[in-house]
């Protein structure tokens, strides 16, 4: 069982010969819209591995909102806790890309993503807990062991993920915080309520207030982040793979670097989301951390081989084919 709390955002992408100057209109060369947002990307990444996934989020009462529900249904993600805001529209991100040099300009309007009711988070988590209690005797008889995993990022209203992490932990779920997008300061209270903190190198550097440019500097940043309280810190390092750092009961810190899978990368969008979603799905299935991280890295690598995020998220079979 995986519960994801997070964003649903439509990327509206226009390609133009160059970026417009203030007040200027430039004729575009192409336009397309793509469904995304860290929340739905991670939920679908987990669902493609066969996990039972519930997404908590909010969209507007507009055509984009309808499109998100269609996609969630196609992907088998439970959407009963994706609500619709009567006033705020669906979250949108306006992206302009310049053909001449690849530079871009982006405006993100979170809209309904910032109106997720805290009560929805509480209700979803308590519902999952009740379901688990009901299923426990049958699972035990069949020798199945599942965990419930709660995964969130920081693209919804703050109260939702602080409440979600705290309540999920109280209910005995494994909590994963993907502390993205980066904000200025490390929120130590928030980090403490995560069992597992996942950050990329930019986020790690910001929260640890250091630079992360190599495995050695990543290790130092991880040690600082572990001080904030999570038991595990995972720093994803793009084409360099990732670093897993854990606090042992003795207080000592263990680091394990996972080398990258060699792929032909064309677009890195969604790699971190694939990584987080796959990690959550595998931990819910009681797969040991090292094995889960290897598969999450493979998922991240595969996601870079295709354009877009959702369209590029791999299946379990594709992940297994990449792993020797």
Give the integer Cα–Cα distance in Å for 106 and 218.
29
Task: Check residue 265 for interaction with ligand ADP (CB under 6 A).
Answer: yes
**Kind of pairing between the strands at 91-98 and 104-109:** antiparallel
Residue numbers belonging to the annotated binding site for K(+): 267, 269, 303, 306, 308
Task: Check residue 245 for interaction with ligand ADP (CB under 6 A).
Answer: no
Hey, which residues does 12 pair with through a beta bridge?
A: 33, 94
Task: Check residue 300 for interaction with ligand ADP (CB under 6 A).
Answer: yes
Task: Check residue 301 for interaction with ligand ADP (CB under 6 A).
Answer: yes
Look-up of token digits 């670093």: 243
Phi, psi of 184 (to 5 degrees): -65, -40
- Contacts of residues 317-322 at CB distance under 8 Å and 24 or more positions apart, as own/partner, are 319/49, 319/278, 319/295, 320/295, 322/261, 322/263, 322/298
Do residues 309 and 34 make contact, with C-beta atoms less than 8 angstroms apart? yes
Choose which of 20, 28, 89, 260 interacts with ligand ADP (CB under 6 A). 260
Site for ligand ADP in 109-148 (CB under 6 A): none
Find the Cα–Cα–Cα–Cα dihedral 271, 273, 277, 280, rounded to 10°.
100
Task: Check residue 297 for interaction with ligand ADP (CB under 6 A).
Answer: yes
Task: Check residue 238 for interaction with ligand ADP (CB under 6 A).
Answer: yes
Hey, which residues does 83 pair with through a beta bridge?
A: 58
Choose which of 78, 261, 283, 319 interacts with ligand ADP (CB under 6 A). 261
Size of the site for ligand ADP (CB under 6 A): 19
Report the residue number, 89 or 181, with the smaller CB distance to ligand ADP: 181
CB under 8 Å to 123, separation ≥6 — which residues?
81
Look-up of token digits 């009901």: 134
Per CB under 6 A, the segment of 1-9, 136-144, 161-169, 297-305 that binds ligand ADP is: 297-305
Report the residue number, 71 or 240, with the smaller CB distance to ligand ADP: 240
Task: Check residue 275 for interaction with ligand ADP (CB under 6 A).
Answer: yes
Per CB under 6 A, the segment of 104-112, 214-222, 248-256, 270-278 that binds ligand ADP is: 270-278
In angstroms, give the least distance from the CB of 53 to ligand ADP. Answer: 19
Choose which of 54, 129, 162, 200 interacts with ligand ADP (CB under 6 A). 200
Report the residue number, 45 or 59, with the smaller CB distance to ligand ADP: 45
Hey, which residues does 31 pair with through a beta bridge?
A: 14
Task: Check residue 271 for interaction with ligand ADP (CB under 6 A).
Answer: yes
Give the integer Cα–Cα distance in Å for 57 and 107.
20
Per CB under 6 A, the segment of 27-35, 49-57, 209-217, 232-240 that binds ligand ADP is: 232-240
Per CB under 6 A, the segment of 40-48, 64-72, 97-105, 268-276 that binds ligand ADP is: 268-276
Q: Where are the beta strands (DSSP E) in 40-195?
A: 53-60, 78-85, 91-98, 104-109, 149-152, 174-178
**Kind of pairing between the strands at 9-16 and 174-178:** unpaired
Reading the block at residue 89, the tokens are 């529209």
3-state secondary structure at position 143: coil
3-state secondary structure at position 275: helix
Active site residue 187: no
Task: Check residue 236 for interaction with ligand ADP (CB under 6 A).
Answer: yes
In angstroms, give the least distance from the CB of 205 to ligand ADP. Answer: 12
| Set 120, 187, 273, 285: catalytic member | 273
Residues that bind ligand ADP (CB under 6 A): 200, 236-239, 241-242, 260-261, 263, 265, 268, 271-272, 275, 297, 300-301, 304
What amino acid positions are annotated as catalytic residues? 273
């Amino acid at each position: 069982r995986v519960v994801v709390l997070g964003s649903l955002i439509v990327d509206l992408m226009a390609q133009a010969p160059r970026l417009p100057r203030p007040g200027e209109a430039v004729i575009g060369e192409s336009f397309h819209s793509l469904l995304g947002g860290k929340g739905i990307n991670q939920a679908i990444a987990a669902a493609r591995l066969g996990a039972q996934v519930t997404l908590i989020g909010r969209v507007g009462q507009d055509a984009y909102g309808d499109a998100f529900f269609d996609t969630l249904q196609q992907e088998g993600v439970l959407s009963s806790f994706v609500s619709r805001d009567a006033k705020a529209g669906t979250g949108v991100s306006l992206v302009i890309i310049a053909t001449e040099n690849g530079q871009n300009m982006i405006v993100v309007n979170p809209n309904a993503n910032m109106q997720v009711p805290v009560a929805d988070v509480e209700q979803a988590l308590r519902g999952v807990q009740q379901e688990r209690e009901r299923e426990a005797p049958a699972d035990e008889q069949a020798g199945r062991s599942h965990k419930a995993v709660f995964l969130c990022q920081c693209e919804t209203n703050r109260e939702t993920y602080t409440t979600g992490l705290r309540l999920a932990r109280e209910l005995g779920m494994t909590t994963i915080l993907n502390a993205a997008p980066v904000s200025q300061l490390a929120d130590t209270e928030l980090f403490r309520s995560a069992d597992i903190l996942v950050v990329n190198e930019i986020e790690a550097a910001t929260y640890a207030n250091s630079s992360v440019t190599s495995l050695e500097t990543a290790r130092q940043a991880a040690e600082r982040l572990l001080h904030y309280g999570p038991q595990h810190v995972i720093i994803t390092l793009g084409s360099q793979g990732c670093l897993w750092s854990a606090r042992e009961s003795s207080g000592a810190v263990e680091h394990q670097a996972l080398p990258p899978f060699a792929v032909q990368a064309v677009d890195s969008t969604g790699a971190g989301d694939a990584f987080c979603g796959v990690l959550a799905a595998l931990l819910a299935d009681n797969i040991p951390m090292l094995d889960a991280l290897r598969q999450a890295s493979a998922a991240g690598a595969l996601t870079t081989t295709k354009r877009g995020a959702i369209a590029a998220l791999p299946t379990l079979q594709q992940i297994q084919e990449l792993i020797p």
